[in-house]
Amino acid sequence: MKLVLLDRDGVINEESDDYIKSEAEWVPIKGSLEAISRLCQAGYHIVVITNQSGIARGLLTIEDLHAIHQRMQKEVSANGGRIDAIFICPHKPDDNCDCRKPRPGMLHSVMDRLETELAGVPLVGDSLRDVQSAMVVGASPVLVRTGHGSRTIEQNPHLENVAVFDDLSSFVDDLLDSGG
């Protein structure tokens, strides 16, 4: 199965330090929806894995999150793509759950649901926790400079072996140009 794992905030849509709390606050990053469409047209399945602690913090409800994801799905679809599944962690960092990245719980759920291993599967994110969670399950970490990506790269010089791209679109260009 051809698969790409995507973090949401900072990769697909603009990041917000105040959290994305409503569908009106969800703003796609230029080129990200088209990039997802190109992946789909090339036969890839797209899975989003996203920490959403705003739920546990009381900043949004699960219904609000579903509305945000419905809008995301609708806009991806309008651009000719699809997201096959969305996995979320609704917990705060100090809840000590297994699903919050960098812990591998969401990725294990992806493996169970899709009945596949994630070795070598690209996981595109904008934070150190995305890189760390990818490495735990043998996925290939990819950082984008959008969202918190530039800051993550500056603050973690030991990530020299992690692939870095300007944005999701440039990652997809590289993946598809290399025969992916």
**CATH number of domain containing 30:** 3.40.50.1000
Out of 9, 64, 126, 167, which one is annotated catalytic? 9
Q: Which of 7, 64, 130, 167 is catalytic?
A: 7
Burial (CB < 10 A; 0-12, 13-18, 19+), residue 56, is: middle
pLDDT at 76 over 80: yes
Q: Which residue has the higher pLDDT, 75 or 157?
A: 75
Tell me the pLDDT tens digit for each residue of 113-130: 999 999 999 999 999 999
pLDDT at 179 over 90: no
Q: What is the pLDDT of residue 5?
A: 98
Within a 10 A sphere around the Cβ of 119, how many other Cβ atoms?
Answer: 9
SS3 161: coil
User: Is 98 noted as a catalytic residue in this protein?
Assistant: no
Tell me how many domains the chain contains. Answer: 1
Is 174 catalytic? The answer is no
Distances (CA, A) of 142 to 113, 130, 162: 23, 8, 6
- Given a contact cutoff of 8 angstroms between Cβ atoms, the answer to whether 139 and 118 are in contact is yes
Range of the domain at 69: 3-177
What's the mean pLDDT when you consider all of the chain? Answer: 97
